[in-house]
Amino acid sequence: MYTSTSIEFVTARKMTHNEGIKLVKDAGFTAYDMSFTDMLFSDHSRFDDDDYLEYAKSVREYADSIGIVCNQAHAPFHSSTGQAEKDAVIYKKIVRSIECAAILGAKNIVVHPKQHLRYLGHEQVLKELNLEFYSELAKVAEKCGICVAAENMWQTENNRIWHSTCSKPSEFCEYIDMVNHKNIVACLDIGHVSLVDEDIPDFIRALGKDRLKCLHVHDTNLVEDSHTLPFYGKIDYNAVCEALKEIGYCGDITLEANSFINKLPLSILPSGLKVMAEVADYIRQKVEG
């Protein structure tokens, strides 16, 4: 079981991917999570260039040379806008990120479900859109030798965070089961569960070992999508670990706790990363028992 974290907060400081990978490795993580979100959220991503496949290979070679693997990745989001022309561009970027993640060696790449519509009242429409979406991505994933992981989401409704696509255990299970493809799995964002008043251990048990293959591990104050380090918020991580252990979870412990470290001065960034790595390893030990 690997411990990893997203390197997005490092590359956002205008560091190269290799520099971010080295920092994560030196901090004590055994893997890294590659984020492709800058393909939509920045003026330029290295993965948008014509030589993106060669670039991905060079990053893989560097990571291999220092002894760390890419265990997980995150595709660009949001996955849809409801505008055909824009959504075609987004889809191509998502496919490109899947190709690159496979080259990097990731087992899973998280791809947000489509949720451009108001969830309440459009549950069935979104389900049909996402069945088509993930069924197409399953073909890409199988060709590349990687799994696409759907993620449980949330929306803002009446000035508060509320349910959205895959935010209920029964619906998330249904999404995975209706696609019914070995390359489509579930990524449970633990922080997101806490925001929609679902019981996290029960959600883990509902998904079970066969569906739940990866995690986004972070903490919240139960009101905001805080993305801080476990044990810094209000989520009961002892109960989370017990549930993961109970189902025989065999994925990795991947932090998405960027807010914990985003404001740290560059000079003490390595120290902050070491704390994160220690917390991730503590959780790993609890889950492995």
pTM of the full structure? 0.97
Question: Is it true that the peptide bond before 78 is cis, omega within 30 degrees of 0?
Answer: yes
Whole-number Å distance between alpha carbons of 190 and 114: 19
| pLDDT of amino acid 43 | 84
Question: Whose CA is closest to 215, among 90, 107, 80?
Answer: 107
User: pLDDT tens for residues 205-226?
Assistant: 999 999 999 999 999 999 999 9
Domains and CATH numbers, the chain: 3-288 (3.20.20.150)
User: pLDDT tens for residues 168-183?
Assistant: 999 999 999 999 999 9
Q: What is the mean pLDDT of the chain?
A: 97
Whole-number Å distance between alpha carbons of 193 and 199: 7
| pLDDT of amino acid 152 | 98
Whole-number Å distance between alpha carbons of 275 and 19: 19
Q: For residue 272, name the pLDDT band (cuts at 50, 70, 90).
A: very high
Which pair of tokens denotes residue 37? 């979100």
